[in-house]
């Protein structure tokens, strides 16, 4: 319901500077040195549960360092969490928008102030992010999601059908009938905040299963929500085994929606799971998933070589390439390749890979042993492959953590798996095209990979740029012109892609919030029916 105060359009949260010598840098260093092992409970109906079934969270760049212990819920506790949601659902839905929005605003302020260093430190240590990557994620984007979701919900509620002199019409913006299952990925702390609060601000209750790999930072956010006054049971925190939690969620007739971000394969398995028992649910579940990418950078011969090289380094290697939007395939004209590749080699040689607690580190470790092993295999195969040339990097090492050198591969076959498949690591594959083949290259980009998340075009020729935008209309949900393909800002570039990259419901925008509402439209006439004959 919309009533009470109206909130103004928020501004994006400003990044704090952590330059050496600042008070912020000193405070963050202190938080990073903290050696307490945090016990992360399951929270159901406001009660914390600790179990013997625990999983350790370790720093990917320093695998000896234990940061936390996750206390996994049992199967029956996951069922209890669903029941607890149901018991509070009506009361939560009956609150005004302002009451719910206020909780999000308060949580945003807690993260912006007293939890900021803790959540940044947890994101840096738990997910191996440098501060240059953590602050925009676990502080700024997370805060933006909360404030913009609160604001955008108000825009949804304001949308009403027209009334006429003989009748008044209205839309009751009801939440879905049942609970929303939110399963969040490891790579952005902010995403966990969005997957939960977007449905919640629209009046839904949520079963939240965070990724085990980001559970520490996600837990700190959950504590902020509790402190902000989130009523018990509205969002239950269930850091359980992924398959078990999903099985229990999908076996409930009250499952009303899934809010997912993660790999395409897992989202497709969730979709199939729902489809196979669609007649068992009280309401047809809404499925919202933002998934993988094989994001392209296309350079036109008119582009500037240095700008391309820097965009590729930042787009492909920030956060070790573990962004869904990371540049992972590039198409560079032969006339520019010598200059672009030389500049990349020179700059990559200066780039520091290592401990994220040192503020001049550019890249930390990849998230897990499994990811490290996969990337090591891919790079070993690339070394043996006659159609692949290693332009830069290629090494991996596993002491003291899961490190992979930023790697540029020149691939002579444009349909090579390296140009198609998401690797989710610091590996950029480049195809060098003949300058005369601009048109063919556009078709190639559009048809090579199943994904369509982000893309960049570097081009100063307006006609060529226009043509590329047209041919690549379905190749990306977020397209960047003369910029790297990463770094979308809430409110500025609503995020999401099509094809195998997801349902493109644009996280952080009102379009996403529409998925968490099921409007009832009410007509009240001033002229009740009085005669059964037409035209009477
Ligand atoms: P993931 O698919 O492994 O995990 C995502 C969530 O699903 C986690 O909570 C995980 O525990 C759960 N999960 C894993 N296996 C499951 C299973 N078999 N059944 C049910 N649930 C399961 O993804 P990740 O490694 O955490 O994140 C990386 C992926 O996420 C990449 O593919 C990346 O492109 C994608 N991503 C996409 C976006 C976007 O906006 N499009 C944003 C961030 C990440």
Task: List, for residues 195-223, the tens digit of each pLDDT value.
Answer: 999 999 999 999 999 999 999 999 999 99
Q: Which DSSP helix (H) or strand (E) runs through 112?
A: helix 97-112
Q: Are residues 367 and 412 in the same domain?
A: yes
Task: Please report whether residue 529 resides in a domain.
Answer: no
* Spatial separation of the C-alpha atoms in residues 182 and 193, rounded to whole Å: 10
Task: Please report whether residue 67 resides in a domain.
Answer: yes
Q: What SS3 class is residue 271?
A: helix
- Tokens of residue 22, six digits: 């600042």
pLDDT band at 536 (very low <50, low <70, confident <90, very high): low
pLDDT digits (tens, 9 = 90+) for 34-54: 999 999 999 999 999 999 999
* Spatial separation of the C-alpha atoms in residues 329 and 184, rounded to whole Å: 26
Q: Are residues 116 and 175 in the same domain?
A: yes
User: Is the minimum distance from the CB of 317 to ligand 1 under 6 angstroms?
Assistant: no
User: Is the minimum distance from the CB of 211 to ligand 1 under 6 angstroms?
Assistant: yes
Task: Catalogue the E-assigned strands of 226-369.
Answer: 235-237, 255-261, 286-290, 295-299, 327-333
Residue 412 DSSP class:
S
Given a cut of 80, whether residue 4 has pLDDT beyond it is: no
Task: Please report whether residue 258 resides in a domain.
Answer: yes
Residue 72 DSSP class:
P
Pocket test for ligand 1, best of 255, 263, 371 (most atoms within 8 A of CB): 263
pLDDT recorded at residue 2: 53
Ligand 1 atom nearest to CA at 211: 9
- What is the phi-psi region of residue 48: left when phi exceeds 0, alpha when psi lies from -120 to 50, beta otherwise? beta
pLDDT above 90: percentage of residues in the chain: 98
User: Is the minimum distance from the CB of 263 to ligand 1 under 6 angstroms?
Assistant: yes
The answer for residues whose C-beta is within 8 angstroms of residue 18's C-beta and 6 or more apart is 24, 25, 28, 131, 135, 359
Q: Are residues 235 and 300 in the same domain?
A: no
pLDDT recorded at residue 534: 83
Order across the sheet with 478-481: list the strands. 388-392, 407-411, 427-433, 327-333, 295-299, 454-458, 478-481
Number of folded domains that form the chain: 2
Q: Are residues 90 and 179 in the same domain?
A: yes
Task: Please report whether residue 90 resides in a domain.
Answer: yes
**Interval 267-276 mean pLDDT:** 98
Q: Are residues 277 and 317 in the same domain?
A: no
By residue range, what is the domain housing residue 324? 295-481
| Catalytic residue annotation | 290, 324
CATH of the domain at 300: 3.40.309.10
pLDDT digits (tens, 9 = 90+) for 419-476: 999 999 999 999 999 999 999 999 999 999 999 999 999 999 999 999 999 999 999 9
Ligand 1 atom nearest to CA at 290: 41
């Amino acid at each position: 319901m919309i009533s009470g105060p109206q909130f103004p359009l928020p501004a994006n949260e400003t990044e704090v500077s952590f330059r050496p010598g600042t008070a912020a840098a000193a405070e963050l260093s202190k938080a990073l040195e903290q050696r307490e092992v945090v016990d992360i409970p399951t929270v159901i109906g406001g009660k914390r549960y600790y179990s013997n079934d625990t999983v350790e969270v370790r720093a990917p760049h320093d695998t000896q360092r234990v940061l936390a212990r996750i206390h996994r819920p049992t199967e029956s506790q996951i069922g209890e969490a669903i029941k607890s949601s149901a018991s509070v659902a009506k009361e939560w839905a009956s609150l005004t928008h302002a009451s719910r929005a206020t909780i999000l605003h308060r949580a945003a302020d807690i993260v912006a102030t007293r939890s900021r260093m803790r959540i940044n430190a947890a994101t840096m240590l738990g997910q191996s992010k440098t501060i240059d990557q953590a602050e925009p994620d676990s502080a700024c984007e997370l805060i933006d999601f909360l404030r913009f979701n609160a604001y955008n919900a108000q825009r949804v509620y304001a949308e009403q059908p027209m009334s006429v002199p003989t009748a008044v019409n209205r839309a009751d913006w009801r939440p879905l009938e049942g609970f929303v299952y939110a399963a969040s990925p490891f790579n952005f702390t902010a995403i966990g905040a969005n997957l939960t609060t977007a449905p919640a601000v629209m009046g839904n209750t949520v079963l939240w299963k965070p990724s085990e790999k980001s559970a520490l930072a996600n837990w700190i956010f959950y504590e902020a929500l509790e402190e902000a006054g989130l009523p018990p049971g509205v969002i239950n925190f269930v850091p359980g085994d992924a398959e078990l939690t999903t099985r229990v969620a999908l076996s409930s007739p009250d499952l009303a929606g899934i809010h997912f971000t993660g790999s395409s394969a897992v989202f497709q398995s969730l979709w199939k799971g729902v489809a196979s028992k669609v007649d068992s649910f009280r309401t047809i579940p809404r499925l919202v998933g933002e998934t993988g990418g094989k994001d392209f950078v296309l350079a036109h011969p008119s582009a500037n070589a240095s700008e391309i090289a820097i965009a590729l380094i930042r787009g492909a290697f920030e956060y070790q390439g573990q962004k869904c939007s990371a540049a992972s395939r590039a198409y560079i004209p032969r006339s520019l390749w010598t200059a672009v590749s030389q500049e990349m080699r020179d700059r990559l040689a200066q780039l520091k890979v290592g401990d994220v607690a040192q503020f001049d580190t550019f890249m930390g470790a990849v998230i897990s042993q499994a990811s490290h092993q996969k990337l090591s295999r891919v790079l070993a195969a690339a070394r043996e492959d006659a159609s692949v040339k290693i332009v830069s990097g290629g090494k991996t090492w596993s002491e003291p953590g899961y490190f992979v050198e930023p790697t540029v591969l020149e691939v002579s076959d444009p349909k090579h798996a390296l140009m198609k498949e998401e690797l989710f690591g610091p590996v950029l594959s480049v195809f060098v095209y003949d300058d005369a083949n601009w048109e063919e290259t556009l078709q190639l980009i559009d048809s090579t990979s199943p994904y369509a998340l982000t893309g960049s075009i570097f081009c100063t020729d307006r006609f060529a740029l226009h043509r590329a935008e047209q041919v690549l209309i379905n190749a990306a949900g977020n397209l960047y012109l003369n910029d790297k393909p990463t770094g979308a800002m809430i409110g500025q570039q609503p995020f999401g892609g099509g094809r195998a990259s997801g349902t493109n419901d644009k996280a952080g925008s009102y379009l996403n919030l529409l998925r968490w509402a099921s409007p009832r439209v009410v007509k009240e006439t001033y002229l009740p029916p009085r005669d059964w004959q037409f035209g009477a």
